[in-house]
A and B are shown apart, each in its own frame.
Chain A
Amino acid sequence: MTITLNEAIELITLEADMLDHGEFREWLKLYTEDGLYAVPIDPDAKVEDLEKILNYAYDNAEMREKRVERLLGGRSISAAPPARTVRLLSRYRMLETGTGSCTLRCAQFLTELRQGRERYYAANVTFRLKKMEERFCIDQKIVRLLTSTEALTAVSYIL
């Protein structure tokens, strides 16, 4: 019942591919019902403390849905069309495995293109994955940007 490294990599690679190819509604289904997608500012904050502090994003299912609607709705000038992105995941390390769940950390390097400008974001990403009935789901995705405490530029897409 444990999740192998290969199974974990397969899921998060699928997630990355969906986000880079605009399959946002399908992306929503990858998460558990009470799953969390967060982009913290404080590099040292523990996941359980993020609720008490300011983040770039701290999304439950409802907020993830709204974020997707914003990207697809065509009513946001910064996301009409959304930036094009290519993200590479690498340097995988299984931090913890248990019955039906695991925690995995990896590196993400994302290149964004919008209005002729290329921008780059490096991040450490920690996933908690859960086996739900017959499939694996994302229960937590915490994107820790290398530049989280620096001035960013508008990120009108999903990291």
Chain B
Amino acid sequence: MQDLLDPRSLVSADYADGSIYSNPALYDMEMDRIFMHNWIWVAHRSDLPEPGNFITTFVGPHPVIVSRDRKGDVHVLLNRCRHRGATVCEHKSGKGASFVCPYHGWAYGLDGALRGVPHQEGYSGQLDKAEYPLVSLRVEEYNGLIFATFDQSIMSLDAWLGRAKPWIDLFMKQGAGWPVKTMGEHRFTFPGNWKIQLENTTDAYHFPIVHKSFLDAVDEETQNTFDFVGGEGFVEDLGHGHSVMVMIPDLVDLEDNLDAPVPDRFLELAEELSKDYPPEKVRQIVRAVGGTGFNLNLFPNLACSMAFFRVLRPLSVNETEIRHIAIGMDGGPECANEARLRLHELFQGPMGFGTPDDAEAWDRVQRGSLAGRDIAILLNRGLGHEAKREDGNLFSDVSAETGMRAAYRQWLAAMTDEAAAAEIGV
């Protein structure tokens, strides 16, 4: 037992040891202490619009079903038959009234209750169905974002999101007055550790370097909009490992500045919308189509990233799955949603003009960080001029590593026993 890892020896306030990306024992510890004891994002409300709808997904390595029962309540159920452990659902999404295990026919309701056991007489009255529902996780929702956790004792989702909540509300203004809905996703893997991706969503510093070819592909006005390193933006620590990186301050509140002229690249769309909507609404929709000017990183697996949801899932110590979920206006104009889809395809996904270059950089971090021993990964950018706001939030310039420091602070808290104990007390 003396070989047990001490995470405190690997991460400090402004650097981390390179082995955090490749140590299998540390990964196992993360899957337990982080992914079983924090709120993990599982779905957006629009993924389950009606009673009977379900999706399958994962909480860390654990396969789960997220379902909406007949009363409209959302359940997150381990996708594991209580009899012999088979998965009871292999569909990505669907609509139904029950989940029937294909092995021996045990049938469960949308709420996980065990409803039917074929030839139950074989248990001679010793099987009480009430004792064997699908295992339920704790579920809570904020502004359409559905989270689940194995841990019954951690603080409420509301308290956990805390100072990140106003930013979630701002992000959802992309509905332009309509509810936000998901519109499909790009899903890909990269051969590297999940924390490399976690860091990237709060890293503005890389943008003009890694995304040169994306910037080549857009007009000058857009290039100027994305020329934010050294600009007025900032990164702010929102507590509990969450952070926001404001790249384009003008696009923080999509309902502000509605008098501003429509950017050239959206003129055609604005003209089409003008047939059906008054000028003010047209500008609101167009601003929403372009997305917000910030990335909100929610520890550990979700980011509300400018115009889409980024969801990460660790597959092993050196493999990670990323989903870039497109979002749009539920009930909004079709031409505006199509414009959003084309913008998503331009940057995101395995064939986008941005993502493959990000993936290449992450891949290089994984391979390069194996070189040598006891060499630090630096997390100190922007520390020298980091300051505190009145509400206590630390902040620094847009290309600062304040968001990474926030995430690693929470990582350390979750990974060490004292912190787990402290959290239970909250």
Instruction: Show the binding face of A for B, using Cβ within 8 Å.
Output: 39, 41-42, 51-58, 63, 66-67, 69-70, 73, 75-79, 115, 149-156, 159
Chain A residues with Cβ below 8 Å from B338 are: 51-52
Chain B residues with Cβ below 8 Å from A152 are: 187-189, 350
B213 touches A55 (CB 8 A): no
Chain B residues with Cβ below 8 Å from A66 are: 217, 353
Chain B residues with Cβ below 8 Å from A75 are: 212-213, 216
B185 CB contact (under 8 Å) in A54, A57, A76, A79? A54
B92 touches A149 (CB 8 A): yes
A76 touches B355 (CB 8 A): no
B345 touches A54 (CB 8 A): yes
Could you write out 12 A-B pairs with CB less than 8 Å apart?
A53-B341, A54-B341, A56-B351, A57-B345, A67-B353, A70-B353, A77-B357, A152-B189, A153-B359, A154-B356, A155-B351, A156-B356
Chain A residues with Cβ below 8 Å from B116 are: none
CB closest chain-A residue, reference B346: A63
CB closest chain-B residue, reference A152: B350
Chain A residues with Cβ below 8 Å from B349 are: 56
- B318-344 residues with Cβ-Cβ distance < 8 A to A are 321, 326, 334, 337-338, 341-342, 344
A57 touches B344 (CB 8 A): no
Q: Distance (Å) between the CB of B173 and the closest chain A CB?
A: 21
Q: Distance (Å) between the CB of A44 and the closest chain B CB?
A: 13
Chain A residues with Cβ below 8 Å from B337 are: 52
Q: Distance (Å) between the CB of A65 and the closest chain B CB?
A: 9
Asked if B184 is at the interface of the complex by the 8 Å CB criterion, the answer is yes
- Number of interchain pairs (Cβ within 8 Å): 92
Asked if B387 is at the interface of the complex by the 8 Å CB criterion, the answer is no
A56 touches B359 (CB 8 A): no
**Nearest 5 A-B pairs (CB), nearest first?**
A54-B184, A76-B213, A154-B356, A78-B356, A78-B360
A42 to B184, CA, bound (A): 9
Chain B residues with Cβ below 8 Å from A57 are: 345, 351
A77 touches B189 (CB 8 A): no
Q: Distance (Å) between the CB of A3 and the closest chain B CB?
A: 29
Chain A residues with Cβ below 8 Å from B334 are: 52
Q: B157-198, CB under 8 A of A: which get 1 and which 0?
A: 000000000000000000000000001111111100000000
Asked if B370 is at the interface of the complex by the 8 Å CB criterion, the answer is no
B345 CB contact (under 8 Å) in A42, A56, A153, A155? A56
A156 to B359, CA, bound (A): 10
A115 to B346, CA, bound (A): 25
B184 CB contact (under 8 Å) in A41, A150, A154? A41
A52 to B340, CA, bound (A): 10
B345 touches A58 (CB 8 A): yes
A154 touches B92 (CB 8 A): no
CB closest chain-A residue, reference B215: A75
Q: Distance (Å) between the CB of A159 and the closest chain B CB?
A: 8
A69 to B216, CA, bound (A): 9
B359 touches A154 (CB 8 A): yes
Q: Distance (Å) between the CB of A89 and the closest chain B CB?
A: 20
Asked if B210 is at the interface of the complex by the 8 Å CB criterion, the answer is yes
Q: B358-396, CB under 8 A of A: which get 1 and which 0?
A: 011101000000000000000000000000000000000
CB closest chain-A residue, reference B315: A151
Q: Distance (Å) between the CB of A31 and the closest chain B CB?
A: 17
A70 to B347, CA, bound (A): 12
B345 touches A79 (CB 8 A): no
Task: Tell which of A39, A42, A150, A152 has the most Cβ of chain B within 10 Å.
Answer: A152
A83 to B385, CA, bound (A): 42
Chain A residues with Cβ below 8 Å from B185 are: 54
A154 CB contact (under 8 Å) in B187, B190, B212, B217? B190
Task: Tell which of B184, B355, B356 has the most Cβ of chain A within 10 Å.
Answer: B356
Chain B residues with Cβ below 8 Å from A154 are: 188, 190, 350, 355-356, 359-360
B188 touches A151 (CB 8 A): yes
CB closest chain-A residue, reference B187: A151
A79 to B338, CA, bound (A): 28
A78 to B351, CA, bound (A): 11
A69 touches B345 (CB 8 A): no
- B262-279 residues with Cβ-Cβ distance < 8 A to A are none
A69-B217, A78-B360 known; A54 and B188 CB under 8 Å?
Answer: no
CB closest chain-A residue, reference B350: A152
- B285-326 residues with Cβ-Cβ distance < 8 A to A are 321, 326
Chain B residues with Cβ below 8 Å from A55 are: 341, 345
A39 to B337, CA, bound (A): 19
A159 to B356, CA, bound (A): 14
A154 to B348, CA, bound (A): 10
B342 touches A58 (CB 8 A): yes
A53 touches B184 (CB 8 A): yes
Q: Distance (Å) between the CB of A116 and the closest chain B CB?
A: 10
CB closest chain-A residue, reference B324: A54
Chain B residues with Cβ below 8 Å from A42 are: 184
Q: Distance (Å) between the CB of A151 and the closest chain B CB?
A: 4
A55-B345, A79-B356 known; A153 and B184 CB under 8 Å?
Answer: no
Chain B residues with Cβ below 8 Å from A155 are: 350-351, 356
